[in-house]
Amino acid sequence: MIRQIKKSGGQYFYIGNGAVCCMLKIAYGKAQLLHLGAPLSEDDCEALCCETVLGWEPGVLYREGDTRSCLDELPLAWSERGTGDYRETPVGLLYEGTEICPDFVWSSAGEVNTEEYDAVLPHARGAQETVKLVFTSSNRLLEGLTLELRFSLFETALVRQAVLINRSDKPLKVMKLMSACADLQGSFMVSTFDGGWIREAHIHTVPVTRSRVANGSAGGFSSNRHNPGFLLSRPGVSDDAGEVYGFNLLWSGNHYSSVQRSSVGFTRVLQGISPDGLCLDLLPGGRIETPEAVAAWSGRGYNGLMENMHRFVNESVIPEAWRYQERPVLYNNWEGCMFKFNEGKLLSLAKKAKKIGCELFVLDDGWFGERDNDQAGLGDYSVNRRKLPNGLEGLSKKIHDLGMQFGLWFEPEAVNPDSDCFRQHPDWVLSSPGTGPFYARNELLLDLTKPEVRDYIVESVSAILDKADIQYVKWDMNRNSPVSGNKAYEYILGLYDVLHRIFDSRPRILLESCASGGNRFDLGMLCFSPQIWASDDTDPVERLDIQNGLYYLYPQSTIGAHVSAAPHGVTLRATPMSTRSNVAFFGDFGVEFDLDSMKPVDEAELKETIAYYKQHRKTFQFGRFSRNGTEEGTLCWQVSDGEKTFCGLFHKLIPAGPEIEWLRVNGLDPDRTWHVEARSQLLRVGAYGSLLRFATPVPLDTEGTIIRLADRHYQMRDGGFSAECSGAALQSGIPLGKRFTGTGYDASLRVQGDFQSNVFCIVPKT
Ligand code: GLA
């Protein structure tokens, strides 16, 4: 509900529902933020007004003689430098080379029509209500300069946006324009999601103090270094209890957010595009719309926040055609083949992929131009006939004949210098004036700010999509940008234009975006691509941290998660097939290794595993996600659709002589009886190492032919477990079966060595 309330004390705005609430007061023409967070009643608005604490100090008064008008000490929803607020402010304007204060004052409130939105910027859809608060500049030189602050209420989040419209007759330069500014009361911890290539989205938490904590990116994209999303939580918050705020941005370029506690105890939060190097022209008649900024709140710890964020993304960000639509199990040939393949090899892989239950065959890098390694061909769209003599159409037809869908990899934003595209258009590459070119992975980015470059990409990609009967596209981008500031900003607008033009008219194509894994995992890209390749690191143990970080802000359905080879290609860590699968269950499951060298035992296990995932994927992809019962060294992920619940219990390194383990399940009806069943998984004979000698009638060489053959063909059941009990008992925890402690085997023994895991299914007892 959005309400404008007039009281004797002033003008108020109430924007709230059962999940989030924001209350504003217009005082001195400024938007004071009385409250953001817990749902409150509009009757509380007057009680939430604060007084300044100004004494004999140098604080500047906005209204002469009125000590309550010291803006530096008030909680604000927007602010400008030059009005007496000395905290970090969301806007910076230059007029004739000098910073100028617009001093915006409130003029009106109104609704926003969809036609008013920038057509290129991605927007969240399906707001319950939207209001714009309109402010005009009271600076004598800037008469007519207008700021609109938009507030859109979604079922589980609040979305904000700032729009600057130059109705003055002065040309301005915009150095900074944030999407949102908010002052929140009390102490906080701030959590950011940081990393790099193959170690994306690791959570880091520090206290919010008087020193500023800035979370931003500079590589041209939302980045794997610092995801745009972050959290503010009260000290002591847990998975199940306490107050947490989540913030995010619908933007894929350089971003910036900061938090800092003020002298009177407000934490100022800024969210927006990075002002680093920015200097945008705002000419008379012009306007700049910022990306949308999201805020969600939970009083039920991280689990409540994840529920709100996930619902917002699933229902308002993901393209409509893919909302709550089950994602196919895919096979991708990259980690299995890299650049070395031909049609025969691909068909052999596709047949095996089909046999184990994959539904979509994705041909990754290397199908075009002279692309036998990453030094040539990027930018060209002619099919490499040496590898694919029947072209993409021929291959696609054969894949379809096998009963699978066909998907294709593109990296349209880049070129290799050794490509026809670059030879014909050397002036198309992106560079900053007078420097470079600076290479990364032997490639240069194309200048997407140029209309002719955008046309080339749109026409080339569209032609292939229309000819080769393609159901899925992996849109990759594998380097950081050589430019910053305006150019980097305009590049992202160019990218959004290209994505609109290719995919708006092809809504049934499943788009998975990728940037060397998770170098562009953000809500901007998710407006076009329902899922994102989270990381080139498919080692399940590394994925526990990567996916665990992403879940705070992004639902399982947005996270591409594949089973790959062991030992793993980037960590050389050996992990069991069961754990590789169990981790991939909590995302969009895929397979990505050379199936021609798959052992018979792995084939049997994967077949069984994929059938299980397909049967329950709706719950895995879209069920309510939460975490529970985390013991030292253990991680427990839970997804639930109300009837069916799955818990994944994962171990990294296990101690010798382990303690008894307990299964705890959140949120079940406490009075109902539930049936718990461990997913049947398999254990390689070889896992028993030299102990096997004691289990065989005659001692056998563990490196010898007999054991090696047994290891290829024979598996044992692992960790069978079932129980029946009330939801109350499951909430409190039930003990799991005996764990291996140096001897013995039976089908219910949990051979829980390092990197082992189980998935439990919980359904009502029939
Ligand atoms: C990037 C992607 C990989 C793969 C390769 C192909 O690294 O993240 O998944 O597509 O490019 O070159």
CA atoms of 107 and 11, how far apart (whole Å): 12
Quick check: CB of 535 below 6 Å from ligand 1?
no
Token pair recorded at residue 173: 């330069």
Name every residue whose Cβ is closer than 8 Å to that of residue 746 and which is 6 or more positions away in sequence.
none
Q: Nearest C-alpha to atom 1 of ligand 1 is from which residue?
A: 516
CA atoms of 738 and 734, how far apart (whole Å): 13
* The pairing of beta strand 172-185 with beta strand 158-166: unpaired
Q: Which of 411, 514, 538 to mutate to test the pocket of ligand 1 (most atoms within 8 A of CB)?
A: 514
Quick check: CB of 364 below 6 Å from ligand 1?
yes
Q: Which of 378, 476, 533, 559 to mutate to test the pocket of ligand 1 (most atoms within 8 A of CB)?
A: 476
Token pair recorded at residue 553: 């802000």
pLDDT tens profile 668-708: 999 999 999 999 888 888 777 777 777 777 777 877 888 88
pLDDT tens profile 136-194: 999 999 999 999 999 999 999 999 999 999 999 999 999 999 999 999 999 999 999 99
Q: Tell me, what's the pLDDT at 10?
A: 85
Quick check: CB of 473 below 6 Å from ligand 1?
no
What is the three-class DSSP state of 24?
Answer: strand
Mean pLDDT of the chain: 95
Q: Tell me, what's the pLDDT at 749?
A: 77
Q: Nearest C-alpha to atom 5 of ligand 1 is from which residue?
A: 365
Residue 144 Cα to ligand 1 midpoint, Å, equals: 49
Q: Tell me, what's the pLDDT at 738?
A: 80
Q: What is the 3-state secondary structure (H, E, C) of 261-330?
A: ECCCCEEEEEEEECCCCCCEEECCCCEEECCCEEEEEECEHHHHHHHHHHHHHHHHHCCHHHCCCCCCCE
CA atoms of 438 and 453, how far apart (whole Å): 19
Q: Tell me, what's the pLDDT at 305?
A: 98
What is the three-class DSSP state of 10?
Answer: strand
Residue 517 Cα to ligand 1 midpoint, Å, equals: 7
Q: What separation, in Å, do the N-terminal and C-terminal C-alpha atoms of the chain show? A: 42
CA atoms of 473 and 464, how far apart (whole Å): 11
Helix 600-622 to helix 343-356 angle (10° resolution) is 70
CA atoms of 558 and 424, how far apart (whole Å): 38
CA atoms of 157 and 376, how far apart (whole Å): 45
CA atoms of 754 and 540, how far apart (whole Å): 12
- Beta carbons of 347 and 355 less than 8 angstroms apart: no
Q: Nearest C-alpha to atom 7 of ligand 1 is from which residue?
A: 516
- Beta carbons of 750 and 758 less than 8 angstroms apart: yes
pTM of structure:
0.97
**Cα separation values, 655 from 110, 469, 661, 697, Å:** 62, 52, 12, 31
Instruction: Identify any residues that bridge with 673 across adjacent strands, giving them in sequence order.
Output: 726
Active site (catalytic) residues: 476, 536
**Cα separation values, 586 from 24, 230, 263, 309, 328, Å:** 40, 22, 44, 16, 14
Question: Of all atoms in ligand 1, which is nearest to the CA of residue 514?
Answer: 8
Q: What residue ranges of the chain have pLDDT lower than 50?
A: none
Q: What is the 3-state secondary structure (H, E, C) of 644-711?
A: CEEEEEEECCCCCCCCCCEECCCCCCCCCEEEEEECCEEEEHHHHHHHHHHHCCCCCCCCCHHHHHHH
Question: Of all atoms in ligand 1, which is nearest to the CA of residue 536?
Answer: 8
Residues making up the chain, counted from first to last = 766
What is the three-class DSSP state of 260?
Answer: strand
Residue 533 Cα to ligand 1 midpoint, Å, equals: 9
